[in-house]
Structure 1
Amino acid sequence: MKFKLIALDLDGTTIDRRLYLSDANRNAVNDAIHQGCIVAIITGKMFAAALPFAERFQGAAYLFASNGANVYDIPGQKELISFPIRTEHLPQIIRTIEKHRARYRMYTRDAMFAAEESHLVDSIRRDYPDLPVFIGPIPLSETYCKIYVQDDDAKLAAIIRDLQTLPLQIHPSDNSNIEITNAQANKGEALRFLKQHLQIATEDVLAIGNHDNDMPMFAEAGYAVAVANSPAHVQKQAHMVTRPCEEDGVAYALAQLGICRTDPNF
């Protein structure tokens, strides 16, 4: 099968929980690029954390960070468009999260903010030691691209319910967490924008992902692939289920579809 555009998720799809990008996945994506495919990284990661991963591929063309809040032309080194959370909505969002005593962190394009120290902050410092981290009262003057909330499912459900009147995108992205973005910052809108920007038809697009925030992207692709570590309801929305992320699922899918020259049987 031939595709002109590959929309590729990072966490849990192309890289694992240790932030490890396997040689097999990297080489398969590079091979697809060398054969003429345009590769767009469409990820929930904030821009500053995602760009170093995107640049590890030889010729990835676009990066959509924070589920599409930042749209970046990698070769041109320029941002094409931005969809931050609207400033007037921030006080209500923060009050709602704190009312339910949920743990959260907030991302600008290049920094992270948190009201207090927690394991959410510790994990960012561990995984991204060069990322600026600010602890204390959340400054409303900053431009926030995404808010990440992690707690038990009952709290998350209550937060989603209380924020449903605001024009936001709220998606689970893994177990016991949600990501809050501008209503226009979701992976489906991101892929629709890119198809129009490049004048590529839906049937010429392959999307590979692993969680709820990838399903809008699946809907905008001609062919969708879910890795085997995806929840069952995500797998049902895909045309193909490949191997788990930890077993080079992206490389295996690209090989099975004839997009790269890697041995399809590994």
Structure 2
Amino acid sequence: MLIATDLDGTLLRADKTISARTSAALERAAAADLPVVLVTGRPIRWLRMVYQQLETPLPAVCANGAVVYDPLRDQVLRADPLTPEALEEIARRLTEEVPEAVLAVEVMDGRQMIHHIDYPLRWDSEHGGARSVSAVAGLLREPAVKLLVRAGERDPDEFSALVGKTLAGVGEATHSSSTGLVEVSAAGVTKAAGLAWYCDRLGVPSSAVTAFGDMPNDVPMLAWAGRAVAVGNAHPAVKEIADEVVATNEDDGVAGYLETLLP
């Protein structure tokens, strides 16, 4: 068996901390040789504050499946970025369909962010590694593991659907927040694809994977895994496909489930 868990809204509490109970459950999993992998929309540069709370850093599938990362060696095992050509096509389509959109990209396997000067950073500024450019062309020159799209305050489900339709065939659009931020990966790149690559490397079939999540970007992973578990605070689309719904992230839903598996 292998455990795959999302971070924000799933393993982490609202204040971005890992509870003592969850930390203990993860340590018990390690002692029982039950592998756990983090599967997150976060880029590598956002993982530092998570690893600071863990006794042993866990491997991670980052950037919604675009990067597989070994924290013990600080090594990217696999990256599947958007090419400059794809970024140019995405920018062209968005300019036509959503002219007010502002963009940012995660480059260097997610170790650095480049954002248009009009892009609102919000929590991005807390993690460092960001720089601005004054022209969209400055975002399109190198491969990016994720492109971020904002256009003011939007309904996240509706805006994600609009961007997804606009970028069909060139990028995968999803969302994991309530602020109208849309995250775009290369065509075919999802949390499921990144996790599948990692599990294949270990020889673990999808039927042996239990996955936890809370937001639409988790849906492909949950659909792929042998058992899909939603936390109690999950988006309706996640609960709809889940085999089971556990307690919320604030009430240690993942830890509670792990405790039933561990001696």
Give your verdict on TM over 0.5: yes
- Cα distance change of structure 1 residues 27 and 219 upon mapping to structure 2, 3 Å threshold: same
Distance 2:53 2:27 in 1: 9
Distance 1:160 1:204 in 2: 31
Distance 1:133 1:27 in 2: 38
1:137 aligns with 2:139: no
- Cα distance change of structure 1 residues 230 and 170 upon mapping to structure 2, 3 Å threshold: same
Distance 2:102 2:21 in 1: 36
Question: Hey, which of these two has a bigger chunk of helix by percent?
Answer: 2
**Root mean square deviation, CA, Å:** 2.2
5+ residue gaps, structure 2, are none
1:90 aligns with 2:87: yes
Distance 1:18 1:148 in 2: 23
CA offset digits 1:141-175 (Å, max 9, x no partner)? 23211112244135544332221142x21112233
Distance 1:55 1:189 in 2: 27
1:102 aligns with 2:116: no
Q: What residue is the counterpart of 1:50 in the other structure?
A: 47
Residue 55 of structure 1 and its aligned partner are, at CA, apart by 5.6
Q: Is the 8 A contact 1:50 1:65 kept in 2?
A: no
Residue 61 of structure 1 and its aligned partner are, at CA, apart by 4.1
Q: What residue is the counterpart of 2:148 in the other structure?
A: 148
Residue 79 of structure 1 and its aligned partner are, at CA, apart by 1.4
Q: What residue is the counterpart of 1:214 in the other structure?
A: 218
- Cα distance change of structure 1 residues 134 and 34 upon mapping to structure 2, 3 Å threshold: farther
Superposed, 1:11-26 pairs within 5 Å as: 11-26=8-23
1:171 aligns with 2:168: no
- Cα distance change of structure 1 residues 222 and 164 upon mapping to structure 2, 3 Å threshold: same
1:244 aligns with 2:248: yes
- Cα distance change of structure 1 residues 222 and 165 upon mapping to structure 2, 3 Å threshold: closer
- The two structures have a TM-score, normalised by structure 1, of 0.85
- The two structures have a TM-score, normalised by structure 2, of 0.86
1:59 aligns with 2:56: yes
Q: What residue is the counterpart of 2:32 in the other structure?
A: 35
Distance 1:48 1:132 in 2: 10
Q: Percent identity?
A: 26
**Paired residue total:** 252
1:114 aligns with 2:115: yes
SS at the partner of 1:208? strand
- Cα distance change of structure 1 residues 30 and 97 upon mapping to structure 2, 3 Å threshold: farther
CA offset digits 1:14-53 (Å, max 9, x no partner)? 1134322222222222221221111111100011112441
